[in-house]
């Protein structure tokens, strides 16, 4: 079973590439982030035509998450139970479902913007709500994983130059402590390392030739419980999908399971 996560940075802009990638990669379940569309605009019909069910939690121009599956899509939950609001709005940043033998979440963790910004405090509250929401499944017997754009680099090795990010979000001690608390529920980072590249980044800014220079970050993660981790046979970052015209600024992260 092949499961992947991909921040597509607008599913409308990325749809032709997404459909082609699903076919070429043989992915069974895809966790999507940053759909940037309404639920009505989501390409449900186009995905169904190539054999995939889908469910989306999205409200408009920003954020938005989805699950795309040809392995079943049951017990879907839209939103983060107990999650905080930002400026009075419960943003569409989480969706979960059972896909065959596996339960998965697709999450788009708030960016945080700046350390002194209210969005940063919101990010930490959101991560605490995520930890509470997944704790039962994380410690359970069923393969379970939380995949998505975490907007946190777990270690200094996960950014191209730690000095560049000093004092910025994505690398602060509170953010990394929140990731550690999430792992303490029974989850581990299951993408095997080292991969083909010494630094398997998943995100590269569009500006300043960041991708050709490999000035990236590893912020798209797959956190699985023990039954999930024990089933992992391989994993990789599909850097090829970051290349060329019309690419997202994130690459898909793919995990193969024997379940």
pLDDT of residue 200: 83
Q: Which long-range contacts (CB under 8 A, 24 or more apart) does 172-179 make?
A: 172/115, 174/124, 175/112, 175/123, 175/124, 175/127, 176/152, 178/124, 178/127, 178/128, 178/131, 178/152, 179/127, 179/150, 179/152, 179/154
Determine if residue 151 is labeled as part of a ligand binding site: yes
Determine if residue 234 is labeled as part of a ligand binding site: no
Q: What CATH number has the domain spanning 2-257?
A: 3.60.10.10
Domain range list for the chain: 2-257
Determine if residue 111 is labeled as part of a ligand binding site: no
Identify the three-state secondary structure at position 23.
helix
- Is the pTM value of this prediction over 0.85? yes
Q: Which residues are marked as active site? A: 108, 149, 250
pLDDT of residue 199: 64
Q: What is the pLDDT of residues 188-231, one digit of tens each?
A: 999 866 555 566 899 999 999 999 999 999 999 999 999 999 99
Determine if residue 7 is labeled as part of a ligand binding site: yes
């Amino acid at each position: 079973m092949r499961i992947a996560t991909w921040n597509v940075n607008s599913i409308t802009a990325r749809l032709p590439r997404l459909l082609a990638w699903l076919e070429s990669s043989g992915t069974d379940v895809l966790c999507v982030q940053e759909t940037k569309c309404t639920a009505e605009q989501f390409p449900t019909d186009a995905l169904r035509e190539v054999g995939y069910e889908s469910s989306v939690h999205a409200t408009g121009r920003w954020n938005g998450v989805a699950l795309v599956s040809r392995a079943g899509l049951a017990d879907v939950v839209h939103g983060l139970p107990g999650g905080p609001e930002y400026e009075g709005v419960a943003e569409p940043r989480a969706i979960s479902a059972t896909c065959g033998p596996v339960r998965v979440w697709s999450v788009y963790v708030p960016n945080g913007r700046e350390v002194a910004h209210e969005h940063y405090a919101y990010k930490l509250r959101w991560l605490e709500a995520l930890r509470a929401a997944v704790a039962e499944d994380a410690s359970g017997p069923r393969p379970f994983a939380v995949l998505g754009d975490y907007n946190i680099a777990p270690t200094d090795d996960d950014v191209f130059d730690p000095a560049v990010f000093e004092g910025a979000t994505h690398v602060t001690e509170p953010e990394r402590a929140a990731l550690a608390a999430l792992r303490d529920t029974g989850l581990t980072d299951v993408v095997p390392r080292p991969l083909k590249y010494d630094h398997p980044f998943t995100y590269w800014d569009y500006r300043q030739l960041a991708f050709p220079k490999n000035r990236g970050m590893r912020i798209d993660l797959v956190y699985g419980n023990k039954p999930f981790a024990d089933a992992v046979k391989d994993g990789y970052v599909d850097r090829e999908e970051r290349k060329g015209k019309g690419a997202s600024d994130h690459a898909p992260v793919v995990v193969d399971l024997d379940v």
